[in-house]
Chain A
Amino acid sequence: MDFQHSWNIYRKDWKTSVKRKEVLGVMIFLPAIMGIGMPILMLIGILVDPTGFLESFGDPDLLKILYNIPPHYNDALAAATIMMKMFVLPMFLFIPVLLPVIISSDSFAGEKERKTMESLLYLPITKTELLIGKVLASFLPSMIISVSIFFVMGIVVNIMFIPHLAGNLLLFGDLTAMLIGLLMSPSWALLNIQIGVIISSRARDLKSAQSIGGALITPVLGIFFIAIFSPTFLNIITVLIISGGLLILWIIFVYIGNRVLDPEKLIVLA
């Protein structure tokens, strides 16, 4: 196993992806709107009328208890914390899963469609090196973009709420949030990419790979809505359990991927 070979595949795939304007556009603008634009608009609303935000969910005190808000938080800080937990954190679960679909579905199906599969298979590489390169090509850009947006959002929200922070930190001060951003999201993305790449290797064309890959987001949507409507669902324990489960599943799919990736099928279907 020569990791440099996988790295070469990753670099080539990333280069070809960023040169496609539609891919680059979706990769940057979609997460920027979902992870920064929309939350900022909501935070502006909170800054204007924090009590109104809390009251819009019914009893503000009950809401604060449900979301485990420290009693010394004022309404603005409490509303911003609740908003982070309710909308922003699930968004950071959703973005790293959504982004790789664009690249991972293209990984093998795109090579077949552009008739470059054969020249790739004639290279002196093993199928494991090829598979890892293809997974990296989806995983690294998605994670770089997601983590960057997570930190940009963290900085922005803390700057916006400076007058209300009183020594506290929004997003960065929350261990659950950090675990979601830095552990659960990457684990989910990794599993999703692994499955997406396997599907792409078996799909006849890019469109079918994309539609099957897109369907993989459905379970994440489920978690997204559970997180919104069940305030206590995403805590340190559930995040660790889910992340661990996802990583175990990923390892299983790495094994499956190695078994099912058949150069013969790639070339015959190409």
Chain B
Amino acid sequence: MESVISLKNVSKLFYNKKDKKLPEDRRKVWALGGLTLEVNRGEIFGLLGPNGAGKTTAIRCIAGILRPTSGKIFVNGLEVNREQAHKIRRGIGFLSENPGNYENLTLLENLRFFGSFYKLKNLNQRIDDVLEMMGLLNRKNMKAGKLSKGQKQRLAIARTILHDPDILFFDEPTAGLDPVASVKVRNLILRLKRNDRTIFINSHNLEEVQKVCDRVAILDLGKLNRLGTPDELGRQLWDSQEIVFTLREPVSPKIETLLSSLKYIKQYNVKNNQLFIYTEDINETTPEIIKELVKLDANILEVNKTVHSLEDIYLKLMDEESLNIN
């Protein structure tokens, strides 16, 4: 896998110069504290964390707007520094938390302005294409300020993808969008991934992140708390996973004896015709258990795997963190 974004031990200190009454240690805020991570080409990478975790600071450092206090950042092999930051930004699309559109300019004027920095061959055609993609073509000559909140967000997304960048940063991409528009944006993100684009998503919408992201990093107080696929994170946090078998008949003692003998089963519970089985890796053990049950002539009506959602993972991590703080 080729890494396109690489953060090496990146720290960012904000120093409050104005409030001189604050004690020295409280005037220093570490927004990032030695963050190291790599994002691969063609990957959708989710950055999660509570407010103030350092997600936006990380994106701003990658864009070269904020200078890290220490550490190095590389994008497409180029080090992000004062001399190269603007060159690196040519191949990146940024969607910031605020839509950032010019409200008294029309949609066309907004996109012409932003597109004019990328030397696009057929800018007008490209503007029509992205407006069409975002369902805004019929509002092309309307002032951006007259759009609804969701439409403003869609215009901002159109601006972000206008120059067809290799790397995209989406900060809360579906904020303010209705469910239909949210699905469209999700599909757009997945389509961009199919075209080998690398996408970095910063979001509080865990369901959305789970649906689109290949890997996620969870930040807390500027530090990397967890990194991996949602499945990997689930396995890191829970030592066993649950499978529920529903049988036609109540669970027989024969079946219970079998379950006790299977070494990969950590624990099981029986409730009438339902079996609750806990194993380390449900993907590997489920077919095995089914085979064994069929051998004992058990009539299996239903098998349900309990997969820990990203929300479960996130909440568990945040709970642990608050316990650590307390």
Contacts and interface: CB of A to CB of B under 8 A. Distances in A.
Contacts of A117: 100
Contact of A12 (B86, B113, B159): B113
Contacts of B118: 124
Contact of B113 (A4, A8, A121): A8
Given A124-B118, A125-B117, A264-B65, A12 B89 contact: no
A116 interface: yes
Nearest to B109: A15
A263 interface: yes
Interface in A80-123: 114-123
B320 interface: no
Interface string B81-119: 000001101101010111111111100010001101110
B100 A126 contact: no
A89 B117 CA distance: 41
A267 to B, nearest CB: 6
Contacts of B102: 12, 16, 114, 116
Contacts of B296: none
B62 to A, nearest CB: 11
Interface in B141-166: 156, 159
A152 to B, nearest CB: 29
A259 interface: no
Given A8-B117, A121-B65, A263-B65, A16 B105 contact: yes
Interface string B54-69: 0000001001011100
B105 A116 contact: no
Nearest to B59: A122
Interface string A132-168: 0000000000000000000000000000000000000
B105 A15 contact: yes
Nearest to A11: B113
A119 B65 CA distance: 11
A248 B23 CA distance: 44
Contact of B104 (A19, A124, A264): A19
Nearest to A17: B104
B117 A126 contact: no
B66 A119 contact: no
Contacts of B113: 8, 11-12
Contacts of A120: 100
A264 B67 contact: yes
- Interface size range of chain A in the complex: 20 to 34
A145 B63 CA distance: 39
B117 A115 contact: no
Contacts of B89: 122-124
Contacts of A121: 63, 65
B141 to A, nearest CB: 13
B238 interface: no
Contacts of B156: 119
B178 to A, nearest CB: 22
A5 interface: yes
A72 interface: no
B100 A19 contact: no
Nearest to B118: A124
Given A263-B65, A264-B67, A126 B101 contact: no
Most interface-central of A8, A119, A120 (chain B CB within 10 A) = A119
Nearest to B14: A268
A124 B87 contact: yes
Contacts of B66: 263-264, 267
A118 B98 contact: yes
B100 A116 contact: yes
B100 A119 contact: yes
A5 B117 contact: yes
A20 B98 contact: no
A126 B118 CA distance: 14
7 contacts: A4-B116, A16-B104, A118-B65, A118-B98, A119-B100, A263-B65, A264-B66
Given A114-B102, A116-B100, A118-B65, 8 more contacts: A8-B113, A8-B116, A19-B104, A116-B101, A118-B98, A125-B86, A263-B65, A267-B60
Interface of B: 14, 60, 63, 65-67, 86-87, 89-90, 92, 94, 96-105, 109, 113-114, 116-118, 156, 159
- The 5 A-B residue pairs with the shortest CB-CB distance in the complex, in nearest-first order: A119-B100, A122-B94, A124-B90, A124-B89, A115-B98
